[in-house]
Structure 1
Amino acid sequence: MKILVAGSCLSALIAKELGKRKHQLLDALHHVRLDAYMWYLSGEMPVGATEKQLLIIEEKAGEACVSPKKKELLAARLKNQTEKKLSNFTSLLKNADWLILDNHYDLSLPLHRIYADEKYCFLNVGEQAIAGESVGFFDLSHAAEIYAKLVYWIRLKNPQIKIIYINYPVSAWEKLRVDNYRLSRAQELKRIFEDAESQIPGLKVVPFIDVPDERLDLEKGVHYFDAEFYDLLADVVEFLANNDDFSFLCGHGNLGFHDLKKMISSSHGGENNHVNSTRVSELSHPYSNMPRRQYWKPSVAEPYPLVITDLYRKKFTISVQDAIATCGSCFAQHIGKRLRNGGYRYLDQEPAPKELGAEKAKALGYGLYSARYGNVYTSRQLVQLFQRAFDRLHFDEVWQNFQGRYIDPFRPNLCGEGEATAEVVLEAQRQHLKQVRRMFETLDVFVFTMGLTETWIHRDTSAVYPICPGVTAGCFDPNRYAFVNLDYATILDEMETFLAALKEVNSTAKVLLTVSPVPLTATAENRHVLLSTIASKSILRAVADRLYQSHKHVDYFPSYDIIMSPPYRGMFFKNNLRSIHEEGVDYVMSHFFDQHCLHEAEATSAIEQSTVPACTACGAAENAEEDGEAFCDEAFLELERQLDAS
């Protein structure tokens, strides 16, 4: 396995033992407090210095007449905290299998802010060798939050990395010291972990170990141990990295050296296998010893929300060659935008004419999806779009806007000022549907975001529309148009119809379903809009789950589940409680990219070699969305209400 270590020499010495077992040490970040590395990853505070600034600091140390030994120690610590060193170490996270951390400096040493020049401050771990400003010791009262953030930023670089956190061992010699600040802080941190260890998913913790004096290497110092002890810690690290269930290590208080050795031996099937016999006796029902993610308390209620992991596991791989098309409700626009920016091969069958400006292109529906069909909110709309594209369904209907010009009723808000004749609209429809057909025939992955159950249909032709006639165009006639609220059985049947039809024209196509977390703007049901929202989304989520369970080529990505679930407490919504913050979408998509992650070289290659039409309206999606809003037909319902009220 490829290993990185950070903290004190303890981690490095364990890695040295692991190296004897054919593991590969990629790099070591010595003399670094873990909160400082978290600040570096998150950008919360300046940590690294340039080589030039390092020279300035070393010159200051010389001017301060620091002893040669302290000067040498300071130089060693500074070199591990340069921008170059931190950057190189961080870049290796994506290649590492294991990351070993230890808390020696978190327990024992303060940070100092040292000014390399008038504008730049640099954090140094250790004694204040030169003039600087004390930042203080690691804040134990926020230890769980700090470590949770650290895990979050590390996992953004490498979602699969195993992170092993080592509590620096306590020796018998240390216990005899009445003024031992490190030991008192170790006891406090121990209590915090006993209460909050489960709040840090993804962090595998080695408990505090009592070390007998015979295991000390006093020639090096009281914080160094003999080879047998490092060998045992290497055993523990290997066990934690390779096993999800390590609960037998917990709940014992401080572990003695010999007790720990017996436990690890038993876990590997030793003669005194009390651990395995305990496990057998506990397997009395299906809920015994399930993976952590299958229990609510440790995986949902206790963790810091933004470090909840393992919410999505891909059913199939999306490769660099796969052409991806998006369709659905307005939330799907956010997904498409991030797929484009992530280097994926994103289909755009109807690129915007070059002469159109970004804002105009977006208003006409360019770049919103893989073709200019606008928002497709319901299963019935999707089936209708597919059937029209393959000449299985025909409508000659056109609407007139409030200025008397003709528009397309199936994308009424993408027609600009409208056309002078109905024939121009119908011809544009035919050209558009040719491109939709081409999209379905050539895509590799179809991403569909299910948005609504409520819709409006034509009583005679059964045509379905993205918005109620008369809101932005057309004229509402209750004898011609009817409200329909699709139920579970109907939606499931329509989605099965679509999947079967897609397979006929594209036998290898894969489908990724999502449910939009955006609530209804208004409901035509005679009940509170909140109740209609919950009913609608629940039905769609149930259909999506059924399709996921029934088809190998259908995956489900939990965008709705993440945004709406209790641990997130509505944090991703804007003040209107409908629109989703860009940061919320980024967080949702981080779970997607954790599973479908293109390496940088692959993403660049995909962009350079792609023969898929480029998305020429990407600028529109970026520039015209000043507040991150997606284009939604539904928004016109709220505008209509405001106009009526005025």
Structure 2
Amino acid sequence: MQFRTQIPVPKSNSPISYDSEIVSLGSCFAVNMGEKFNYFKFQNTINPFGILFHPVALSRFIDYSLNEKEFTEADIFHHNERWHCFDAHSDLSSNSKEALLENLNTTIKNSSQRLKKASHLILTLGTAWVYRLNKTNSLVANCHKVPQKEFIKELLPTSEIKEALSNIIRSITKVNPDISFTFTVSPVRHIKDGFTENQWSKANLITAVHETIKESNKNTSYFPSYEIMMDELRDYRFYAEDMIHPNQIAIDYIWERFCESTITEDALKTMKEADAIQKGSQHRSFNPESDQHKAFLVKLEQKIIALQKKHPHIVF
């Protein structure tokens, strides 16, 4: 897909290859992009604590991981017949208190190792609107459908967003000095906050990211997911039925722009091989017992073995 006007995206100083180890964190658009990495069989970890929408939640998760915080009963609560943690998404919630604590602590330990080994950290910021729990006066990552009256809604100022992002860079580079940071702002519009309020939120995020990158002497860059959606794809045909989330055409296009700027030439070739194998694996024959289909499966297995010889981490 080509557009007459394209947002310029400079080539990355730290391009991603199949040797790269990637951690993708942030809003639901981080999941969209992370699933692309998974489809093409990159070494990638997506949101171990589930979707985290705002920068303070991301910074806190990274600190917890690097310090290997041990969660206890004091960090969780029971609501609507399930156990939850305000620092994690409801994907980690459980009917069992013990299961939730085990899941949180195992995830933290695994995330610590991933962050210390990662070559690339991709952070997708969703919103600057946050909720502060009255009882503890602390910001939560997820409200878990606790009644609204238990929280105060606030907009993070640029200064606090910068502080959270700078803390992320500082904390990780202490233990992983060669890591590369890519920041992006999610193109998903948080319309429930209001149309004007959504723009206000995105503006604070974009300003904070650019100021952080400008002031950082680390390997940081910005990928304009939000700007591509708002300017190149400024048409409702690129939105899902809810008119809020990008549809698959938009996700594929933004991924294509990301690949142009960030993926190495060799990796792009490998992606084509992985894509061919994925499509072959999804093929369903009308006659699975035919000689033709059996020959097809043999060739497919040969392609998998050849690709795994070059990149042993790849598993189909």
Q: TM-score range, shorter-chain basis?
A: 0.7 to 0.9
State how far apart, in whole Å, the 2-side matches of 1:419 and 1:576 are. 31
Letter in 1 for 2:67: D
Tell me which residue corresponds to 2:90.
413
Are 1:320 and 2:18 counterparts?
Answer: yes
State how far apart, in whole Å, the 2-side matches of 1:309 and 1:476 are. 39
Tell me which residue corresponds to 1:383.
59
Distance 1:390 1:345, change over 3 A: closer
Tell me which residue corresponds to 2:184.
514
Distance 1:377 1:562, change over 3 A: same
Q: Secondary structure at the match of 2:14?
A: coil
Distance 1:607 1:583, change over 3 A: farther
Distance 1:401 1:546, change over 3 A: same
TM-score, length-scaled by structure 2: 0.77
Q: Secondary structure at the match of 1:332?
A: helix
State how far apart, in whole Å, the 2-side matches of 1:394 and 1:477 are. 29
Q: Secondary structure at the match of 1:568?
A: coil
Query: Retained in 1: the 8 A contact 2:165–2:209?
Result: no
Letter in 2 for 1:325: V
Q: Secondary structure at the match of 1:324?
A: strand
Offset, 1:346: 2.1
Letter in 1 for 2:76: V
Paired residues for 1:342-421 under 5 Å:
342-347=40-45, 369=46, 371=48, 373-391=49-67, 396-402=74-80, 404-415=81-92, 418-420=94-96
Cα deviation 1:149-187 (Å, max 9, x = unaligned): 7xx4xxxxxxxxxxxxxxxxxxxxxxxxxxxxxxxxxxx
Cα deviation 1:186-224 (Å, max 9, x = unaligned): xxxxxxxxxxxxxxxxxxxxxxxxxxxxxxxxxxxxxxx
Q: Secondary structure at the match of 1:313?
A: coil
State how far apart, in whole Å, the 1-side matches of 2:270 and 2:66 are. 38
Unaligned regions of 5+ residues in structure 1, if any?
1-148, 153-302, 348-368, 524-528, 617-646
State how far apart, in whole Å, the 2-side matches of 1:342 and 1:424 are. 32
State how far apart, in whole Å, the 2-side matches of 1:407 and 1:387 are. 20
Are 1:332 and 2:25 counterparts?
Answer: no
State how far apart, in whole Å, the 1-side matches of 2:135 and 2:110 are. 28
Distance 1:393 1:309, change over 3 A: closer
Offset, 1:432: 1.4
State how far apart, in whole Å, the 2-side matches of 1:312 and 1:569 are. 25
TM-score, length-scaled by structure 1: 0.40
Cα deviation 1:599-645 (Å, max 9, x = unaligned): 4248768755556696x9xxxxxxxxxxxxxxxxxxxxxxxxxxxxx
- Which of 129, 132, 138 pairs up with 1:454? 129
Q: Secondary structure at the match of 1:522?
A: helix
Letter in 2 for 1:464: L
Paired residues for 1:153-232 under 5 Å:
none
Tell me which residue corresponds to 2:111.
436
- Which of 192, 195, 212 pairs up with 1:547? 212
State how far apart, in whole Å, the 2-side matches of 1:415 and 1:425 are. 7
More divergent stretch after superposition (404-413 vs 482-491): 404-413
Offset, 1:318: 1.8
Tell me which residue corresponds to 2:269.
600
Cα deviation 1:304-328 (Å, max 9, x = unaligned): 35xx374443232223211111010
- Which of 556, 571, 578 pairs up with 2:222? 556
More divergent stretch after superposition (552-561 vs 384-393): 384-393
State how far apart, in whole Å, the 2-side matches of 1:446 and 1:607 are. 25
State how far apart, in whole Å, the 1-side matches of 2:308 and 2:101 are. 35
Query: Retained in 2: the 8 A contact 1:316–1:555?
Result: no
Letter in 1 for 2:142: I
Distance 1:535 1:609, change over 3 A: same
Letter in 2 for 1:398: I
- Which of 561, 581, 593 pairs up with 2:247? 581
State how far apart, in whole Å, the 1-side matches of 2:226 and 2:206 are. 8
Tell me which residue corresponds to 1:499.
169
Letter in 2 for 1:454: W
Tell me which residue corresponds to 2:4.
304
State how far apart, in whole Å, the 1-side matches of 2:75 and 2:60 are. 14
Tell me which residue corresponds to 2:283.
none
Q: Secondary structure at the match of 1:326?
A: strand
State how far apart, in whole Å, the 2-side matches of 1:539 and 1:559 are. 16
How many residues align? The count is 278
Q: Secondary structure at the match of 2:183?
A: strand
Query: Retained in 2: the 8 A contact 1:312–1:592?
Result: no
Letter in 1 for 2:168: F
Q: Secondary structure at the match of 2:246?
A: coil
The structure having more radius of gyration, on CA atoms, is 1
- Which of 483, 502, 505 pairs up with 2:153? 483
State how far apart, in whole Å, the 1-side matches of 2:270 and 2:188 are. 35
Letter in 1 for 2:78: Q
Are 1:466 and 2:141 counterparts?
Answer: yes
**Identical residues among aligned pairs (%):** 16
Paired residues for 1:33-112 under 5 Å:
none
Letter in 2 for 1:557: F
Query: Retained in 1: the 8 A contact 2:92–2:103?
Result: no
State how far apart, in whole Å, the 1-side matches of 2:232 and 2:311 are. 41
State how far apart, in whole Å, the 2-side matches of 1:490 and 1:601 are. 41
Offset, 1:444: 0.6
Query: Retained in 2: the 8 A contact 1:320–1:606?
Result: no
Distance 1:506 1:448, change over 3 A: same
Query: Retained in 2: the 8 A contact 1:515–1:541?
Result: yes
Greater relative CO, 1 or 2 (CA 8 Å, sep 6+): 2
Unaligned regions of 5+ residues in structure 2, if any?
275-305
Offset, 1:585: 1.0
